[in-house]
Amino acid sequence: MLKVGLTGGIGCGKSTAIRRFRELGIAVIEADLVAREVVEPKQPAWQEIVQTFGAQALREDGFLDRTWLRQAVFSDPERLQQLESILHPRIRTEIEGRMAARTGSPYVVVDVPLLFEKGYTQLFDRILVVDCSQEQQRERVKLRDGSSNDLIESIMQSQVARDVRLQHADDIVENSSLINVFYQKIDDLHSKYEKLSNV
């Protein structure tokens, strides 16, 4: 089965692309959901995080206190490395297992926001980048969740540079105009991926 890794900068329209692939009947795996599931209470990753960071990493209900964890690792590269070494191998293994288990879909799309940053490229046959201008990114994120300019800039700075994403993409879908135009581009890619799946 053809495996497509989908990524793009914040506000570029990854969620909209995913919605369209789902409407077309394509199997979709979201790395962010997988990341949440692997740290549910009593899971091995959850246990290792508690051993590493202590009980203060938990909320009263036993789930991870994401806000506390984010702050704990934000300015400490060593602790961030510890957390990522617990999470990413498990997320990767889970994604691989779910891709292998997908049947009834001509290909599978995996939404990985940090695909380049965390070295997921080798899991996929094709890399699809959803792209728009940086001005559009800022406008969309501000409109979507009211984030401050500083927060948007810091998120954009933490992601791999736009030109690096575009340089390493097998397919680029540009999302700068009307939604029906964007959907048509996804539909065209869908036809292309179906043909590639049958090779």
Q: Is 12 annotated as a binding residue?
A: yes
- Scan for tokens 């300015």, then name that residue: 75
- Scan for tokens 């036993």, then name that residue: 62
Q: Is 154 annotated as a binding residue?
A: no
**Residue 172 buriedness (CB in 10 A; 0-12 / 13-18 / 19+):** middle
Q: Is 15 annotated as a binding residue?
A: yes
Q: Which residues of 39-69 are buried (b: 16+ CB within 10 A; e: fewer)?
A: beeeeebbebbbeebeeebbeeeeebbeeeb
**Nearest Cα residue to 158 out of 104, 77, 99, 95:** 77
Q: Is 13 annotated as a binding residue?
A: yes
Helix/strand/coil for 149: helix
Helix/strand/coil for 131: strand
**C-alpha gyration radius of the chain:** 18
Helix/strand/coil for 115: coil
Q: Is 14 annotated as a binding residue?
A: yes
d(CA 82, CA 185): 40
Q: Is 62 annotated as a binding residue?
A: no
Residues within the annotated binding site? 11-16
Residues within the annotated binding site for ATP? 11-16
